[in-house]
Chain A
């Protein structure tokens, strides 16, 4: 992904080596908390009570993970998170692709004004609207439902703007030919343009899924019943009795277990995830 030219022309090995050692040191600091937590999650709780040293020495145990499986709500929360994140992803891809095509390729009355509205929406942070949004969902009695957990994120304009940009970059000639054959506008979109936008769909899909899966503030205020908790909210609720730290091995196992799904996703789709977070389709 990176171009090799940035340091071209510099062969002074000493400076390069100092720089490299500095980066390596920083990387060690960066990865240390994760390695430490993963390592200790395999240690018995009573050993951790006394000391957290000796990370590479036995005894080891799987009991902390067995305890998670026994506390079955974690699975239920994971399922809730999956339903919410996948629901948001599918719906966002659908409405953002439609709207992106509409703004990029078609003409209709009031288009410019509506597009300015979408751009302006970009400036509104979630925190500025969370109180009134909560009131609205309370009025229609929708809290503690999947609909309430899914819906608010669909309004975020990022997807529409990304798709608009992407569709605009696709050459219009194929479409013009199809339109001359008097194919309907929707058919052209569905059969010809949409399949061309797979890279942008992948980027937007992963971006939406990650944000939905990791969302914290809205599920925290909307899902108040434990059976509607998402994984982020459930994990946070279990942390509240943190003061009595007899079970830090169990807490560590929880952190590892909860992080596993996205970490696996990260290993396989790293390129797409990095570009999605940076807000551009993968090259």
Chain B
């Protein structure tokens, strides 16, 4: 990527700047400026109703760190990431390994697993709220067959967050599956042919050839999913509303409510900074772990 500057043709000219100017202007106004403004806001006492009451140093941050609801949303978000990321990797990898061929059958099955990804969060949550209906939902009907009655995950402190995790994995399993499929196709066929000649078992082939070959992709998918799942919002807002007793309220919902319901812009901006920092930290930690494993082998 860093070779951008050397790969052009022709002499440098200011006129060529015109090609990138429209996008750079949009980027400056709609992304870079808000990042800067957000950082500034997080140190201000700025309330949409009361107006701007000046800088307050780190007060917004210290208030957040003493706010039990906010700390609860941090915990919920981390639990959600821990619940979903391994599921995305294990199920995504299993599907990719099983459906990695050119048959019509595999292609049809891939379409099924990918299909829900194109739906919006509102449609997905609408479908699943119906599935989770306590008396007539698909889940309740299915569990009734095996004699389980009265489970209403949406209002259960224990099951609310896992219920949201199930919806999320169902919704976007297509992305990890597709990324793993792409990685599997990069493995040279000769390696497998050699393994087949040696009569290497299926499990040994998986453990010693396939998995090591796609380790980079596994790390990439893990980082990607951590970043994506830290942003949990619509599913929680629309399925449980963050309840019961705040047990499924994620950080982004906290930002939404602080900023757009309670109109405390400085406070909400500070919470956004913490979310941003946590996401960067988690991604860096994951990449560092992946690299360390690379070095060890």
A34 neighbours in B (Cβ, 8 Å): 115-116, 127
* Contact (Cβ within 8 A) A6 B192: yes
* Contact (Cβ within 8 A) B26 A154: yes
CB within 8 Å of A: which B53-75 residues: none
10 contacts between A and B (CB under 8 A): A3-B185, A10-B202, A123-B280, A134-B260, A135-B265, A151-B26, A155-B29, A214-B121, A221-B259, A278-B182
Of listed B32, B120, B238, residue having the most chain A CB within 10 A: B120
* Contact (Cβ within 8 A) A278 B178: yes
A278 neighbours in B (Cβ, 8 Å): 175, 178-179, 182
B233 CB contact (under 8 Å) in A23, A51, A96, A127: A127
* Contact (Cβ within 8 A) A255 B123: yes
* Contact (Cβ within 8 A) B234 A6: no
A112 neighbours in B (Cβ, 8 Å): 2, 4-5
A156 neighbours in B (Cβ, 8 Å): 31
A8 CB contact (under 8 Å) in B106, B131, B185, B193: B193
Given contacts A104-B8, A231-B120, A274-B174, contact A6 B101 (CB under 8 A): yes
User: What's the minimum C-beta distance from A151 to chain B, rounded to whole angstroms?
Assistant: 6
* Contact (Cβ within 8 A) A109 B260: no
Starting from the known contacts A1-B181, A99-B19, A115-B4, 15 additional A-B residue pairs (CB-CB under 8 Å) come to A6-B100, A33-B128, A103-B20, A106-B13, A108-B12, A108-B16, A125-B231, A125-B276, A185-B10, A217-B252, A232-B121, A239-B125, A265-B118, A270-B114, A277-B175
B289 at the interface (CB under 8 A from A): no
* Contact (Cβ within 8 A) A216 B121: yes
User: What's the minimum C-beta distance from A222 to chain B, rounded to whole angstroms?
Assistant: 10
**A63-71, A197-205, A244-252 - interface stretch:** A244-252
User: What's the minimum C-beta distance from B7 to chain A, rounded to whole angstroms?
Assistant: 6
Given contacts A30-B112, A33-B131, A52-B136, contact A263 B118 (CB under 8 A): yes
Dominant SS among interface residues on chain A: helix
- CB closest residue in chain A, given B131: A33
Please list the residues of chain B having a beta carbon within 8 angstroms of any beta carbon in chain A: 1-2, 4-5, 7-20, 22-24, 26-27, 29-35, 37-38, 41, 91, 94-95, 97-102, 106-107, 109, 111-123, 125-131, 133, 136-138, 141, 170, 173-175, 178-179, 181-182, 184-185, 187, 189, 192-193, 195-196, 202, 210, 227, 230-231, 233-234, 238, 252, 255-256, 259-260, 265, 268-269, 272-273, 275-276, 279-280
* Contact (Cβ within 8 A) A216 B234: yes
Please list the residues of chain A having a beta carbon within 8 angstroms of any beta carbon in chain B: 1-10, 12, 15, 19-20, 22-24, 26-27, 30-34, 36-37, 40, 48, 51-53, 94-96, 98-99, 101-112, 114-115, 117-119, 121, 123-136, 151-152, 154-157, 160, 164, 168, 172, 175-176, 179, 185, 189, 210, 213-217, 220-221, 231-233, 235-236, 239, 242, 245, 248, 251-252, 254-255, 258-259, 262-263, 265-266, 270, 273-274, 277-278, 280
